[in-house]
Amino acid sequence: MHSEKVNYKRIFSLDLPAGQCVFIWGPRQAGKSTFLAEHYPDSVLFDLLKTDNFLEFSKRPFLLREQILALSEEQKRQPIIIDEIQKVPQLLDEVHWLTENHSLGFILCGSSARKLKSNTVNLLGGRAWVFHFFPLCSREIPDFDLLQSFNNGLLPSIYHQKPANAKRSLKAYVEAYITEEVKGEGLTRNLPAFARFMESLRFSHGEVINFTNIAREVGVDSKTVQEYYNILVDTLLGFLISPFRKKANREIIKSAPKFHLMDTGVANYICKRNINDLKGSDAGRSLEHLILLELLSYRSLKEKDFTINYWRTKLGVEVDFILDSGSVSVEVKISNRVDKKDLLGLAAFAEEHQPKRSILICLEERRRKVSLPQCEIEIIPVLTFLKSLWADEII
C-alpha cells in the first residue's frame, strides 16, 4: 500500500472536564494538529508557527488575553488551543490568569519542553495535565509492515509514502526539524559541533553511550556531549534508556544510558541504513528500536506506570529491555530460528533477578516455551507480541 495520504484512527484520546488545562508534547509531524482539528473543530486556535502570531504575541503577550476575552461565550466553552506554546513562554502567564479568573480550558501543544524548564516559566501552578503524543504505533496502522516501518518510519505523513518519496521526506525532516529546530530555538551556540554530534549518532544510536569517545570525535568536552543529548530529549527527538540498577552479583554497567531517536525512519536515515530484508544487524537494531517505541507508546497511551531499562554486564551479557522494575525481561532477535545462544542473556538475568516473565521476540512463526534451569522463556513472534502488548497481556 503506497497511498501518499492516509487517515489514521489514533488511540490517543482526551476527555476534558470544563476549565481543564492540558499540555500535549510530541515531536513535529507526529499528528498533534491533525488530531486536534478532527476532535475539536469548534475550538479557537492560536498557531505560533505562523510568523504574524509569533511576532505579535512575543512583543505583546497581553494581546492573547484581550483576544480571548473578546470571544463569544460559546467559543469560550470549548478548550482554546495554542500550538507550539514553547515559542512564546510568556503566554503561560496570560493562560494562568484566564484559567484562574474565567475558568477557561486550554490545550497547549508543543514540540519542545526546553524553554519551559526554566524556573521563571509559569507552568500553571502544577494544575495542568500532561500528555505525550507519539508517532504511529503498530495498532494504529492497517496492514502494519515491519520492513516499511524500518525504512519509512512511523510519522503519519511518511509511513505510507513510496520509498523514494519517504527518503526525501525524511531528509527534509532531519534538516528542517532537527538541525533547524536547534538553530532556530538558539539551544546551542556551537552549531558546527552539534552537527558533528548528529553525525556521530550514525555509530552510537541504540548503543551504550561512551561520552568520552563521542566528545573526542566531536571536539567538545563530555559535559557538552551530555548537554547535546539533553537537547534532543527536551526537543522530543529522542529518549535516554537507563541501565537496570538493582543490586546484583555481576558487575553491571551502572551509569551510561542508551539513546534512541523518536522514530525508526529518522534513525535509519541518519545512520544511512537502507534495509532490504528482515535479517542482518541493521534490521536487528531496527527491530529492537521499534519494540522500544511500541513500549513507550503503550505506556503513555494506556497511562501505565512501569519502568523501561536495559541490562548489561561488563562481560557483555545483555538483555534488551527490563520492564516494571525487573518483573519482565525482553530480548529481541531478528531471527526466524532461535537457538540456545540467543537465550543466554535472559537466562543470566533470570538467575540473578527471578523475573516473573522472560520473553524473546523473534520472527518465528509460532509461539512456544523453552524450559531452562533458571527460568521458562516465552518465544513470541513479533507481530504476536505487539498484539499481546496492546491487549494488556504483557505488562
> Do 41 and 61 fall into the same domain?
yes
> Do 126 and 181 fall into the same domain?
no
Is 1 domain-assigned?
no
Is 7 domain-assigned?
no
Helix (H) or strand (E) holding 191: helix 191-204
**Residue 210: DSSP 8-state:** -
> Do 274 and 328 fall into the same domain?
yes
Q: Is 109 helix (H, G, I), strand (E, B) or coil?
A: strand
Is 298 domain-assigned?
yes
First to last CA, the chain: 32
Spatial separation of the C-alpha atoms in residues 195 and 191, rounded to whole Å: 6
> Do 144 and 54 fall into the same domain?
no
Q: What is the reported pLDDT for 122?
A: 67
Total count of domains within the chain: 2
Residue count (the chain): 395
Q: What is the reported pLDDT for 1?
A: 43
> Do 163 and 310 fall into the same domain?
yes
Q: What is the reported pLDDT for 247?
A: 65
> Do 83 and 153 fall into the same domain?
no
> Do 198 and 245 fall into the same domain?
yes
> Do 193 and 218 fall into the same domain?
yes
Task: Mark which of 117, 132, 147 sits at the end of a domain.
Answer: 132
Is 8 domain-assigned?
no
**Residue 10: DSSP 8-state:** -
Task: Mark which of 132, 157, 180 sits at the end of a domain.
Answer: 132
> Do 128 and 142 fall into the same domain?
no
Q: Which three three-digit cell numbers place residue 125?
A: 501552578
> Do 261 and 277 fall into the same domain?
yes
Q: Which three three-digit cell numbers place residue 348?
A: 543470566
Contact 130, 25 (CB under 8 A): yes
Is 4 domain-assigned?
no
Q: What is the reported pLDDT for 115?
A: 72
Domain with 154 in it: 138-390
Specify which residues 110 forms β-bridges with. 25
Q: What is the reported pLDDT for 118?
A: 62
Contact 252, 322 (CB under 8 A): no
Q: Provide the CA 234 distance to its chain's centre, in angstroms.
A: 11
Q: Which three three-digit cell numbers place residue 349?
A: 538475568
Q: What is the reported pLDDT for 3?
A: 47
Other beta carbons within 10 Å of 118: 9
Is 287 domain-assigned?
yes
Q: Is 101 exposed, middle or buried (0-12, 13-18, 19+ CB in 10 A)?
A: exposed
> Do 80 and 162 fall into the same domain?
no
Other beta carbons within 10 Å of 340: 9
Q: What is the reported pLDDT for 343?
A: 97
Is 142 domain-assigned?
yes
Other beta carbons within 10 Å of 86: 24
Q: Which three three-digit cell numbers place residue 276?
A: 532490504
Is 15 domain-assigned?
no
The pTM for the full model equals 0.93
> Do 216 and 267 fall into the same domain?
yes
Given the DSSP bridges, would you call strands 328-332 and 318-323 parallel, antiparallel or unpaired?
antiparallel
Q: Which three three-digit cell numbers place residue 124?
A: 500553571
94-142 residue pLDDT tens = 999 999 999 999 999 998 877 777 655 666 767 899 999 999 999 999 9
Q: Is 308 helix (H, G, I), strand (E, B) or coil?
A: strand
Contact 54, 61 (CB under 8 A): no
List of the chain residues with pLDDT < 70: 1-5, 118-123, 125, 177-181, 184-187, 247-254
Task: Mark which of 132, 155, 182 sits at the end of a domain.
Answer: 132
The CATH code of the domain that includes 116 is 3.40.50.300
